[in-house]
Amino acid sequence: MPHPPLRSFGRIKSRVIKPRQAALMDSLLPQIRVPAEPFEPRTLMPEAAEVWLEIGFGGGEHMAAQAARRPDVLILGAEPFQNGVASALRHLDEQQLTNVRLKDGDARELVGHLPDGGLERVFILFPDPWPKARHHKRRLVQADLVAELARVLKPGGTLRFASDWADYVDWSLERFTASPDFRWTADRADDWRTPPADHVTTRYEEKRLGDCAPVFLDFVRA
């Protein structure tokens, strides 16, 4: 029996979840949780013009903002941190967003259940950097995930990676550019130093917990 992949995230819960958010975990989450087996995303929202995926949505601010901007897009979100899931549910409930479906667990399981070429866009924003060298094997961005993301993205689809840890930026750029399936779109330094026009800055990003200014890497599926 194959071993499950190493965890690419740390703790899954910290403080006690607030009562209102806990109630949403019991009521709203079961309604919008993605299936636990292979599925066709557009069956969840047949009228969707596109399907996007956010891997590790944190507190859900970015995901909710993108969903509000594009109500015609189905956004799949995956996050193992239960407090983050609870926070995201609050955003969805307050804004009455109906075009988001969630995986409260490892994003790699969700990606593995998606069909070939089923996505138009992927976001990986400020994932756990695992800065110590002995922990690099736990980083989310690995060659096998890059290959899986290439499988589920349609040709011409886009992927955005962002981090404020310089070594993780270099690590991820090396792995994506090593794949024949992805093309880095940057032509000049401002292309990765300046937040993209459609980026949504979150409270986590504003804390600047890394060792460099945020870097944004945009790729196109060849």
The residues assigned a catalytic role are 128
Rounded alpha-carbon distances, angstroms, from residue 215 to 52, 89, 124, 169, 212:
21, 28, 12, 7, 8
Each as own residue / partner, the long-range contacts of residues 17-22 (CB below 8 Å, 24 or more positions apart, any chain) are: 17/82, 17/83, 17/86, 18/86, 20/90, 21/86, 21/87, 21/89, 21/90, 22/86
Answer for the pair 103, 76: CB distance below 8 angstroms, yes or no: yes
Q: How far is CA 37 from the centre of its chain?
A: 19
Contact 123, 149 (CB under 8 A): no
Question: What is the chain's alpha carbon radius of gyration, rounded to the nearest angstrom?
Answer: 17
Q: Which residue has the tokens 């880095």?
A: 184
Q: Is 68 left (phi over 0), alpha (psi -120 to 50) or beta?
A: alpha
